[in-house]
Amino acid sequence: MNTAQRRWGRWGCVGVLLLCTAVCCAAPVSNAISSYVALTSDPQDDGGIAQGGTAADIPPRMLTAYKKAVQQVRTYVPNCHGMHWPILAGIAKVESNHAIGRDIADNGTIRPKIHGVLLNGSGQGGNTTVFPDTDGGKWDGTANGERAVGPFQFLPSTWETIGKDANGDKVADPHNADDAALGAAIYLCGNGRDLTKQSQLKAAILQYNHSDEYVANVLGWIDQYTAASKNPELKNVSGKVRTVIDAGLSQQGVPYSWGGGTASGPSYGICCSPSGKSGANIKGYDCSGLTTYAYAKAGISLPRTAAAQAGRGRRIPASLGTGALKPGDLVFYAYAPGRDSTIYHVGIYLGGGQMINAARPGTVVRLDSVNAMSGYAGGARLL
């Protein structure tokens, strides 16, 4: 939250490795100054780029809190519409990475507590404004000024206006997952927004942090979590298509490993990705390693790189749009769509606008929206 208000062969998925320096599928990126970068815990790698994108990346107790808040929020904001857990997950991902690394008790209490930097105008973490103390250190542990608190990084002054007891212990605690998630839901709902409307959802996020880059970052995570929250429609999928999809889905949660993955399954990768990430000590998959494995289960051998895989089967032109894809198709992304030599990424189309994806270093095999990445380059139908 804005403190001024409350504060990506064997050689991976890349067919153009020597020409390009991006990783295999970048997650939503923002240069926005959020209080997450000001946390006292260790910062993320890759310049603060958020990683993840599925419910599997969220601690179960935090996911429970998000879903619970959705059920409770209309008690406090009856006219709020369209509040779904991916909205709260998108905010919490950027603000605190879902409190990962903390202990989350059964009652939702998070320890150690999550504190932002002291907002004394020092410039640390984008802190350029002095905020005088309002809580005597009750929530932020200091009476010398203000610090954002909890997994949703509220300033104590804001918490006093929107904080509610969500777990029944008669205390509205911003360091409690349930309470904090409900408070965030109330804050985002405002006086009764319809969050199914993109304009109002953007306005809610902009209220949370007055930065267009922050809004774009959070919306990117909401899109990924929304795709992950939908169960794939596989009722009419059978034969080899079903074999490929089931093989891909069975690997959800397996780590991304640069150069990792064979027809036999996950393997240790190599060093190093263009971003400097080594897969040598990680047993898992990169994007084309995952597709190689899944198609091998259906008796189909694929070349190792994403660009080479685009030469197999019947190509589905990008000009037809993603609606031309069918379950089991390979789906490609390129730096210059129309030039297959620039393809840098491949996934397995699942249906319903989703793909099975080994996205980038630091993530796991997951479900993503096919629209979550740029440079859509069409597909290939091998089945």
DSSP helix, strand, coil percent of the chain (3-state; round to 5): 35, 15, 50
In this structure, the answer to whether residues 265 and 377 fall within a common structural domain is: yes
| 224: in domain | no
| 346: in domain | yes
pLDDT number for residue 235: 63
In this structure, the answer to whether residues 143 and 98 fall within a common structural domain is: yes
In this structure, the answer to whether residues 124 and 204 fall within a common structural domain is: yes
Own/partner pairs, 99-104, CB within 8 angstroms, 24+ separation: 99/59, 99/62, 99/151, 99/177, 100/59, 101/41, 104/59, 104/61, 104/62, 104/177
In this structure, the answer to whether residues 200 and 290 fall within a common structural domain is: no
Tens digit of pLDDT at every position of the chain (383 positions): 544 343 333 344 543 333 332 334 322 222 222 222 222 222 222 222 223 344 656 888 999 999 999 999 999 999 999 999 999 999 999 999 999 999 999 999 999 999 988 888 777 666 678 888 888 999 989 998 999 999 999 999 999 999 999 999 999 999 999 999 999 999 999 999 999 999 999 999 999 888 999 999 999 888 878 866 665 556 677 789 989 998 888 888 789 999 999 999 999 999 988 888 999 999 999 999 999 999 999 999 999 999 999 999 999 999 999 999 999 999 999 999 889 999 999 999 998 888 999 988 988 888 888 987 889 999 999 99
> Which of 169, 193, 208 is where one domain is finished?
208
| 27: in domain | no
In this structure, the answer to whether residues 288 and 182 fall within a common structural domain is: no
In this structure, the answer to whether residues 180 and 280 fall within a common structural domain is: no
pLDDT number for residue 158: 95
In this structure, the answer to whether residues 259 and 364 fall within a common structural domain is: yes
In this structure, the answer to whether residues 47 and 86 fall within a common structural domain is: yes
Task: At 363, list the tokens.
Answer: 């993530």
8 Å CB contact between 217 and 29: yes
> Which of 185, 208, 231 is where one domain is finished?
208
In this structure, the answer to whether residues 321 and 362 fall within a common structural domain is: yes
pLDDT number for residue 327: 93
Report CA-CA distances (Å) from 267 to 167, 190, 259, 263: 43, 48, 9, 10
| 22: in domain | no
What is the DSSP code string of 3-22? Answer: TTT-----STT-S-TTT---
In this structure, the answer to whether residues 187 and 78 fall within a common structural domain is: yes
8 Å CB contact between 234 and 245: yes
| 227: in domain | no
201 φ/ψ sector (left φ>0, alpha ψ -120 to 50, else beta): alpha
Q: Look at the pTM and tell me if it is higher than 0.85.
A: no
Omega before 112 within 30 of 0, i.e. cis: yes
| 263: in domain | yes
Q: For the chain, how many structural domains are there in total? A: 2
pLDDT number for residue 287: 96
In this structure, the answer to whether residues 276 and 170 fall within a common structural domain is: no
| 214: in domain | no
In this structure, the answer to whether residues 42 and 191 fall within a common structural domain is: yes
How far is Cα 322 from Cα 62, in angstroms, rounded to an integer? Answer: 33
CATH code where residue 340 lies: 3.90.1720.10
Q: Within a 13 Å sphere around the CA of 82, how many CA atoms are in the beta-carbon half?
A: 17
Rounded to whole angstroms, the maximal C-alpha distance in the chain is: 67
pLDDT number for residue 133: 84
| 153: in domain | yes
For 346, the domain range is 239-381
